[in-house]
Amino acid sequence: MTTLEIKDLKVQVSTEDGPKEILKGVTLTIKDGETHAIMGPNGSGKSTLAYSVAGHPRYEITGGTVTLDGEDVLAMSVDERARAGLFLAMQYPVEVPGVSVANFLRTAKTAVDGEAPKLRTWVKDVNTALQELDLDASFAQRSVNEGFSGGEKKRHEIAQLELLDPKVAILDETDSGLDIDALKVISDGVNRFRSREGKGVLLITHYTRILRYIQPDHVHVFVAGRVAESGGPELAEELEANGYEKYLGAAV
């Protein structure tokens, strides 16, 4: 059974005025087969949580633990975390000029699995993944994210998810900037992933729009570096109707 367990996680960043605490004791457990949605206002620390778990060097862990199937994630390098089964879809995917999507995907798959995929089946798998995301096969020859539209960048992220097949996917505002057609395609890709056995999803978003297509099991309200409240899908609808005002008042 796959379990990502975050306990009392505290994180700070360096600023011109000295260290600034962003996460102030986050506890969250994602079990096999579960989809968790984190919702909260700008600056609440949602993306900091994603990048801290993934191992971004900017974020300094000052307390707490993160384990994946009992293994200490915080003791792992970024590539070790990926090999252990963690995946991060970034809010703003970076451009990699001169590296084709095809080469990028195969290099990533080789790094995660420890061996190169068999070329004949791999080409078929890539083409299938692209087709399911409404991307032409020629997309594989383009440089990673260079000149991509917002929708193409996000579809490429979900193609990586499809092909790398991690244990836990952390999706940081994957719905940001998508039109309704792209949102449906992206959501279908996430739903294909989470239908596989032993998968967990942590979905970070501002809006309930994507949750109409990706049904969460648990919803968490994130305010001022903490989980302010947790509930079921109905909590997302309450946030849509009433906003974060009552939580912001309590956080002051």
| End-to-end Cα spacing for the chain | 39
Q: Give the distance, in angstroms, between the CA of residue 183 and the centroid of all CA atoms in the same chain.
A: 15
> 223 by DSSP, 3-state: which?
strand
Residues (pLDDT < 50) of the chain are 252
Cα dihedral sign, 34-230-5-90:
positive
Domains in the chain, CATH or no CATH each: 3-251 (3.40.50.300)
Which residues have CB under 8 Å from 217's CB, separation 6+?
A: 34, 35, 36, 232, 233
Provide the pLDDT for residue 90: 85
Q: Do 106 and 129 touch, CB atoms closer than 8 A?
A: no
Provide the pLDDT for residue 251: 56
Provide the pLDDT for residue 91: 81
Q: Do 80 and 73 touch, CB atoms closer than 8 A?
A: no
- Beta strand 18-31 with 3-15 is antiparallel
Helix (H) or strand (E) holding 163: helix 150-164
Measured distance CA(28)–CA(139) in Å, rounded: 37
Q: What is the pTM of this model?
A: 0.93
Measured distance CA(252)–CA(245) in Å, rounded: 11
Provide the pLDDT for residue 245: 86
Provide the pLDDT for residue 250: 60
Cβ count within 10 A of residue 247: 20
